[in-house]
Chain A
Amino acid sequence: MAFLRKLTRNYWYLAWLLAFLFLFFLMLRITLKYFPFNSDVAFLQIKQTEVNNVSFYLPTFYVHVYSSILVLVAGFTQFNNSLLKSYRNLHRVLGYLYVIVVLFFSAPSGLVIGLFANGGLSSKVAFVILAILWFVFTLNATLSAKGRDFKRHREFMLRSFALAFSAVTLRLWKVILVYLFQPAPMDVYQIIAWLGWVPNLLFVEWLIKNNTNKKIQTL
């Protein structure tokens, strides 16, 4: 198991794995609130207007919740070079899972429920743009891999996953903002709708620009 030795020597990746495991667990806990199916639970408790008046809202919401947790699995495996080299097929299988789930389920459903987002027009715009960019980046990354342009594939998958990871960062920002300022709930929501993904995207753009070779490969 040469790659395992390599893995544990890579402290950055190890730190990421541990942190991501913790955050993944938090997201899993949120997802499990929606088992068994219930039209008036967790977030849906304040969404009964949509649940009762928009027939497709509830199914779309559930597609988003159930599919999106699968997307995060990519964070464990897809961005490590040693893993990629030693287990090419694992990368491919999980890659296909990610792409299919994002393009056919998570991103389209995200776009639809984004149209009904809390916090008014500003957060609706934020979530709709997020969904469209997520779809476009993921599609681009897939086509690049098909075309064997792996540099471009890696860059677009970084962008795609930065947006997927907004599920986590949005909720982290919320905890921080509420702790510091105790704003009214929808005021927070309007802020995190943007803060959840824009900095993530800026971060990977910086990563792509400055560390085209080194850091991306180690991360």
Chain B
Amino acid sequence: MKKLLISIVAVAAFYACTSKPVEKNTENVVEDTIAVSGLSRDSLLGSWVGNFTASESKDNIESSNKITLIIKNIQKDVVTGRSIVAGNDRPFYGKLIEKDGEFHLTLEEPGDDKYDGKFDIIFKGDLFEGSWESFNKNINVTKRNFKLTKKAFVYDATAMLTDKDDLTDWHNEKLKKDTATVDGKVEVYENQYYRSASDAVYKINSSMQELKESDLKNLRKLDLQILRNTIFARHGYSFKKETYRQFFDYVDWYVPISNNVEKELTSLEKKNIKLLEKFEKYAEDNYDTFGR
């Protein structure tokens, strides 16, 4: 009887141990792991993060977005996964080739989205280096380069912007005419003005503390927008708007992994988002108008 009990406990314990890792790793399946010059195909699996920088564009403006390539599955030489950049979450499918002791990946997005394209990647130990070319040649940016490092997404409620981050909004400038007298002549200049967030954005944690009206009253619209979107950044939301990408793309902890994180939000975060949205609307409608 005692023996039977022990064996039941043992079986239960065995299930308890095995069920967890299996759940987590069902997506990452490597059929045969062949080591090539010390590199294993295992190490390709996971999320690769870095800057996705334009190298050929119609407007010749330098631009870069943070991209995550998730390698989900490698079966023989077939690779599947997703690319997430600027709010665009796309599946890809491609081939893995071993050449000169290196892994080469050619990955293609389906082609039914305007911004789909093809990645050419060389895997160098701890680096995904390569280029991307769009299928559609009529879009603005047709070629991009990247160097990606492996970084797993982890939700961290304590993650914050810091005083080392640039808090200026470079994408929503206002033009104002200013006059100055130079050598007795009055000249009119058109100056660009950029708004900047206050230090509140690295003092207030909108995922940890329940925000009160009094916490938000003295904040400008940009502060409120950043506080709200820091919640989304913590959950790995990939921003469609350049306004928000510029603040988070260069932050180490930020790993874009999805274009919909609604289900991941905690109840505290949902509450704070509601309040922040309300204050953003109030700031938008009232800050510079006749009223209060």
The answer to whether A185 touches B291, judged by C-beta atoms less than 8 angstroms apart, is no
Q: Which of B198, B218, B282, B286 is most buried by chain A, counting CB atoms within 10 A of its CB?
A: B218
Near B by CB (< 8 A), chain A positions 21-53 give 26, 30, 42-43, 45-49
* Complex alpha-carbon distance, A175 and B219, angstroms: 17
The answer to whether A43 touches B288, judged by C-beta atoms less than 8 angstroms apart, is no
Partner of B219, one of A172, A178, A185, A189: A185
* Complex alpha-carbon distance, A42 and B217, angstroms: 14
Whether, in the assembled complex, B59 has its beta carbon less than 8 Å from a beta carbon of chain A, the answer is no
The answer to whether A184 touches B292, judged by C-beta atoms less than 8 angstroms apart, is no
Partner of A178, one of B198, B213, B287: B287
The answer to whether A45 touches B278, judged by C-beta atoms less than 8 angstroms apart, is yes
Taking CB atoms, residues of chain A closer than 8 Å to B289 are 175
Partner of B282, one of A30, A46, A179: A46
The answer to whether A171 touches B290, judged by C-beta atoms less than 8 angstroms apart, is yes
Whether, in the assembled complex, A186 has its beta carbon less than 8 Å from a beta carbon of chain B, the answer is yes
Main SS of the interface on chain A? helix
The total of Cβ contacts below 8 Å across the A-B interface reads: 54
Whether, in the assembled complex, B281 has its beta carbon less than 8 Å from a beta carbon of chain A, the answer is yes
| Distance to closest chain B CB from A171 (angstroms) | 5
The answer to whether B217 touches A185, judged by C-beta atoms less than 8 angstroms apart, is yes
Known: A45-B278, A184-B198. A118 touches B217 (CB 8 A): yes
Q: Which of B219, B220, B292 is most buried by chain A, counting CB atoms within 10 A of its CB?
A: B292
Partner of B291, one of A30, A49, A182, A184: A30
Whether, in the assembled complex, B24 has its beta carbon less than 8 Å from a beta carbon of chain A, the answer is no
The answer to whether A185 touches B220, judged by C-beta atoms less than 8 angstroms apart, is yes
Whether, in the assembled complex, A149 has its beta carbon less than 8 Å from a beta carbon of chain B, the answer is no
Taking CB atoms, residues of chain B closer than 8 Å to A179 are 288
* Complex alpha-carbon distance, A12 and B289, angstroms: 28
Partner of A175, one of B195, B216, B278, B288: B288
| Distance to closest chain A CB from B291 (angstroms) | 6
Whether, in the assembled complex, B232 has its beta carbon less than 8 Å from a beta carbon of chain A, the answer is no
Whether, in the assembled complex, A174 has its beta carbon less than 8 Å from a beta carbon of chain B, the answer is yes
The answer to whether A26 touches B287, judged by C-beta atoms less than 8 angstroms apart, is no
Known: A45-B282, A49-B212. A186 touches B217 (CB 8 A): yes
The answer to whether A171 touches B279, judged by C-beta atoms less than 8 angstroms apart, is no
Taking CB atoms, residues of chain B closer than 8 Å to A46 are 213, 216-217, 278-279, 282
Taking CB atoms, residues of chain A closer than 8 Å to B286 are 42-43
Taking CB atoms, residues of chain B closer than 8 Å to A118 are 217, 292
Whether, in the assembled complex, B19 has its beta carbon less than 8 Å from a beta carbon of chain A, the answer is no
Whether, in the assembled complex, B214 has its beta carbon less than 8 Å from a beta carbon of chain A, the answer is yes
Whether, in the assembled complex, B30 has its beta carbon less than 8 Å from a beta carbon of chain A, the answer is no
Whether, in the assembled complex, B283 has its beta carbon less than 8 Å from a beta carbon of chain A, the answer is yes
The 3 closest A-B pairs by CB, nearest first: A186-B218, A178-B288, A49-B213
Question: What are 25 residue pairs bridging A and B, where the CB atoms are less than 8 Å apart in the complex?
Answer: A26-B290, A30-B290, A42-B291, A43-B291, A43-B292, A45-B278, A45-B279, A45-B281, A46-B213, A46-B217, A47-B213, A49-B214, A171-B291, A171-B292, A174-B290, A174-B291, A174-B292, A175-B288, A178-B287, A179-B288, A184-B218, A185-B217, A185-B218, A185-B220, A186-B217
B residues neighboring A (CB under 8 Å): 195, 198, 212-214, 216-220, 278-279, 281-283, 286-292
- 19 other A-B residue contacts (CB within 8 Å) besides A49-B212, A185-B217: A30-B290, A42-B286, A43-B286, A45-B278, A45-B281, A46-B213, A46-B216, A46-B217, A47-B213, A48-B213, A171-B291, A172-B290, A175-B289, A179-B288, A182-B195, A182-B220, A185-B218, A185-B219, A189-B292
